[in-house]
Amino acid sequence: GAKVAIIGRPNVGKSTLFNRLVGKRLALVDDTPGVTRDRRPGDARLGDLRFTIVDTAGLEDADNASLEGRMRHQTEEAIAEADAVLFVIDARAGVTPLDAHFAEVARKTTTPVILLANKAEGRAGQSGLYESFSLGLGEPIGISAEHGEGLSDLYDALKPLVDRIDEEEALAAEGVEVEEARTNIEVDEDGEPLEEDEPVGTTERPLRVAIVGRPNAGKSTLINSMLGEDRMLTGPEAGITRDSISVEWQWHERHIKLFDTAGIRRKARVQEKLEKLSVADALRAIKFAEVVVITLDATNSFEKQDLQIIELVAREGRALVVAVNKWDLIEDREAAWKRIKDANERYFNQIRGVQIVTMSGIQGQGIDKLFESVFKAYEAWNSRVSTSKLNRWLDKVTINHPPPAVAGRRVRLRYMTQAKTRPPHFIAFASRPEQLPESYTRYLVNKLRETFNIHGTPIRFSYRKGE
Ligand code: GDP
């Protein structure tokens, strides 16, 4: 199972949170900072999630002159051993220099960090919650470990991480070891990445692309045609497999790592389960990828399974390109294209502006066009907009189309910032965000896409209450 570490400066409520998650009075809680405790892992449960939780509270010793240095060391160690980290601050105390110091340590790792603003019951923690955005650890979750508040938000944040570890362990048991694609790079106030951003498409950093689609859509044929040799078996009966799950490929000068579902599918799986399994397999491939290519069969596109896969891509926050395969079989191409364009309007709500490429794997046609689109989608997925540009933009769009008034009072949008890329995540501060209708958010997101040319990737958009 997943291993989750709780970190943070003394007295922010780490042990209380530990107890809350373990459900037993294992750790000793004391209001005096620096009470020494054991560093003991506990079996945590949160809803249906099961994971191991490690508390670093026992590492504190207020009398020690080199407290900071020792804690830093221990924190680094805890992070290195963990699959995910809960970074706790005291929302009532606000962000202290020591918090900022630890945040810097946490930002430098690749372990996912969830920022928790504890003691946020009532209103007293509000300003501390907003302040904690400045730590560069993404969106904070307000909780009260003592009163058990905010736990469902914590659940939502933890679930994908815990599921992913369980998934990886299941794969490892099958002898498959792969790293999930890196998503969610944090950006600072100017929209610059907080981590060094390597250029993609080099030998060290190949672009990670998943080729997914229903059985028989032509994935294997496409990949064979790309690789220029019969690496994989293909045939009219779906589900013929091979062993490896990724293969390196070069398109012009650029390096690409391909993941496909056929390779992930286990050989032994039985035929009748195939329909169901292919969606689960697609999910695995999607997690490894930065850009997903969904292969559709032009002769019967947008079937239920196709739509399920498109949903998954949106949920997992990957960039998407649609390959309409077997185009060689289509006689009335104009009519077929019109049908596809109509479907595009209907099915890509969350990933507007997806590029659709017609192609034929068997004839090796359309592959260049396909990969041009793949790199474009990657750029959109990775796009960053500086805070100053965003706020100039916000002024303009809210003047052209003001937020609606509720009970005579207009909801004000005061400030916007981009918190993450891969996919882009924007946060808007509003006076009464709960009163903004969904249609207004759609308007903002569509305008963002238009103005900043962000197509073919999901966009995350959330509100914070604030001045
Ligand atoms: P997979 O299950 O998605 O990997 O599909 P396959 O690559 O095994 O292809 C399924 C069937 O469709 C095979 O009989 C292929 O020969 C055929 N096929 C694949 N791509 C094309 C194409 O571009 N045009 C035509 N006409 N047939 C194709």
272: three-class secondary structure by DSSP:
helix
Q: Are residues 32 and 72 in the same domain?
A: yes
Pocket test for ligand 1, best of 234, 258, 333, 360 (most atoms within 8 A of CB): 234
Does 247 reside within a domain? yes
Residue nearest to atom 8 of ligand 1 (CA): 234
Contact in structure between 211 and 233 (CB atoms under 8 Å): no
The atom number, within ligand 1, closest to the CA of 214 reads 3
Highest mean pLDDT among 70-74, 76-80, 150-154: 150-154
Does 190 reside within a domain? no
Pocket test for ligand 1, best of 211, 216, 230, 363 (most atoms within 8 A of CB): 216
- 376 against 345, higher pLDDT: 376
Above 80 in pLDDT, residue 140?
A: yes
Q: Are residues 12 and 148 in the same domain?
A: yes
Q: What is the pLDDT of residue 180?
A: 78
What is the distance, to the nearest Å, from the Cα of residue 77 to the centroid of all Cα atoms in its chain? 25
The lowest-confidence range among 26-40, 54-68, 84-98, 273-287 is: 26-40
Q: Are residues 408 and 268 in the same domain?
A: no
CATH (domain of 451): 3.30.300.20
Expressed in angstroms and rounded, the spacing between residue 326 Cα and the centre of ligand 1 is 7
Q: What is the pLDDT of residue 66?
A: 62
Does 296 reside within a domain? yes
When pLDDT is averaged across residues 350-371 and rounded to a whole number, the result is 93
Expressed in angstroms and rounded, the spacing between residue 175 Cα and the centre of ligand 1 is 28
Does 326 reside within a domain? yes
Q: How far apart are CA 7 and CA 54, in angstroms?
A: 9
The atom number, within ligand 1, closest to the CA of 361 reads 23
When pLDDT is averaged across residues 168-177 and rounded to a whole number, the result is 70
Residue 246 pLDDT level (bands cut at 50, 70, 90): confident
Expressed in angstroms and rounded, the spacing between residue 218 Cα and the centre of ligand 1 is 4
- Give how far Cα 333 sits from Cα of 303, 327, 359, Å: 19, 8, 12
Greatest alpha-carbon span in the chain: 81
Half-sphere exposure of 176 (CA within 13 A, CB side): 21
Above 70 in pLDDT, residue 267?
A: no
Highest mean pLDDT among 28-42, 238-252, 292-306, 373-387: 373-387
445: three-class secondary structure by DSSP:
helix
Residue that is last in its domain, among 151, 173, 195: 173
- Give how far Cα 52 sits from Cα of 243, 283, 346, 459, Å: 33, 25, 43, 32
pTM for the model: 0.71
Expressed in angstroms and rounded, the spacing between residue 360 Cα and the centre of ligand 1 is 9
Q: What is the pLDDT of residue 175?
A: 66
191 is in an annotated binding site: no
Residue nearest to atom 24 of ligand 1 (CA): 326
- Tell me, what's the ipTM? 0.91
Pocket test for ligand 1, best of 259, 362, 363, 367 (most atoms within 8 A of CB): 362
Residue 215 pLDDT level (bands cut at 50, 70, 90): confident
The atom number, within ligand 1, closest to the CA of 363 reads 23
- 218 against 171, higher pLDDT: 218
DSSP-H helix ranges across 6-96: 14-22, 67-81
332: three-class secondary structure by DSSP:
coil
Above 70 in pLDDT, residue 392?
A: yes
Above 50 in pLDDT, residue 232?
A: no
The atom number, within ligand 1, closest to the CA of 365 reads 23
Q: Are residues 49 and 108 in the same domain?
A: yes
Q: Are residues 142 and 166 in the same domain?
A: yes
Above 80 in pLDDT, residue 157?
A: yes
Does 461 reside within a domain? yes
When pLDDT is averaged across residues 95-113 and rounded to a whole number, the result is 87
The atom number, within ligand 1, closest to the CA of 213 reads 3
- Give how far Cα 121 sits from Cα of 129, 137, 445, Å: 11, 21, 32
400 is in an annotated binding site: no
Residue 268 pLDDT level (bands cut at 50, 70, 90): very low
Q: Are residues 85 and 132 in the same domain?
A: yes
465: three-class secondary structure by DSSP:
strand
What is the distance, to the nearest Å, from the Cα of residue 439 to the centroid of all Cα atoms in its chain? 24
What rounded mean pLDDT belongs to the chain? 83
260 is in an annotated binding site: yes
- 154 against 36, higher pLDDT: 154
Q: Are residues 362 and 403 in the same domain?
A: no
Identity (one letter) of the amino acid at 222? L
Number of other CB atoms surrounding residue 152 within 10 Å: 12
Q: How far apart are CA 189 and CA 12, in angstroms?
A: 26
Task: Print the domain residue range for 459.
Answer: 387-465
Q: Which two tokens stand for residue 293?
A: 């290519």
When pLDDT is averaged across residues 396-400 and rounded to a whole number, the result is 94
Residue that is last in its domain, among 347, 379, 411: 379
What is the distance, to the nearest Å, from the Cα of residue 456 to the centroid of all Cα atoms in its chain? 15
Closest C-alpha among 327, 306, 325, 299 to residue 221: 325
Residue 35 pLDDT level (bands cut at 50, 70, 90): very low
- DSSP E strand stretches across 2-161: 3-7, 41-46, 49-55, 84-90, 113-118, 141-142
Q: What is the pLDDT of residue 449?
A: 96
Distance between start and end Cα atoms, the chain: 41
Does 31 reside within a domain? yes
Does 70 reside within a domain? yes
Above 50 in pLDDT, residue 36?
A: no
Share of the chain above pLDDT 70, in %: 84
Contact in structure between 138 and 186 (CB atoms under 8 Å): yes
Question: Tokens 């307000």 — which residue?
Answer: 142
The lowest-confidence range among 70-74, 171-175, 261-265 is: 261-265
Contact in structure between 236 and 242 (CB atoms under 8 Å): no
Expressed in angstroms and rounded, the spacing between residue 368 Cα and the centre of ligand 1 is 19
Pocket test for ligand 1, best of 211, 221, 295 (most atoms within 8 A of CB): 221
Above 70 in pLDDT, residue 236?
A: no
The lowest-confidence range among 35-44, 228-237, 314-323 is: 228-237
Residue that is last in its domain, among 345, 379, 413: 379
Residue nearest to atom 6 of ligand 1 (CA): 218
Phi, psi of 294 (to 5 degrees): -95, 125
391 is in an annotated binding site: no
What is the distance, to the nearest Å, from the Cα of residue 14 to the centroid of all Cα atoms in its chain? 26
Q: Are residues 156 and 285 in the same domain?
A: no
Expressed in angstroms and rounded, the spacing between residue 246 Cα and the centre of ligand 1 is 20
Contacts 24+ apart (CB under 8 A), 239-242: 239/215, 239/265, 239/269, 239/271, 239/274, 241/265, 241/266, 241/267
Beta bridge partners, 44, equal 51
How many domains does the chain divide into?
Answer: 3
Residue 234 pLDDT level (bands cut at 50, 70, 90): very low
The atom number, within ligand 1, closest to the CA of 234 reads 8
Q: Are residues 27 and 126 in the same domain?
A: yes
When pLDDT is averaged across residues 203-220 and rounded to a whole number, the result is 90
Does 194 reside within a domain? no
- 261 against 161, higher pLDDT: 161
When pLDDT is averaged across residues 181-202 and rounded to a whole number, the result is 83
Q: Which residues line ligand 1 (CB under 6 A)?
A: 213, 215-221, 234, 236, 238, 262, 325-326, 328-329, 360-362
Q: Which two tokens stand for residue 275?
A: 């329909």
Q: Are residues 283 and 351 in the same domain?
A: yes
Q: Are residues 289 and 431 in the same domain?
A: no
- 466 against 126, higher pLDDT: 126
The lowest-confidence range among 239-243, 250-254, 461-465 is: 239-243
Spatial strand order in the sheet of 319-325: 246-251, 254-260, 207-213, 291-297, 319-325, 355-358
What is the distance, to the nearest Å, from the Cα of residue 414 to the centroid of all Cα atoms in its chain? 26
When pLDDT is averaged across residues 4-11 and rounded to a whole number, the result is 91
Burial (Cβ within 10 Å: 0-12, 13-18, ≥19) of residue 144:
buried
- Give how far Cα 102 sits from Cα of 81, 89, 107, 255, 291, Å: 17, 10, 9, 36, 33
Q: What is the pLDDT of residue 248?
A: 84
Q: How far apart are CA 225 and CA 207, in angstroms?
A: 19
Q: Are residues 127 and 162 in the same domain?
A: yes
The lowest-confidence range among 163-167, 296-300, 316-320 is: 163-167
Half-sphere exposure of 53 (CA within 13 A, CB side): 27
CATH (domain of 152): 3.40.50.300
Q: What is the pLDDT of residue 405?
A: 86
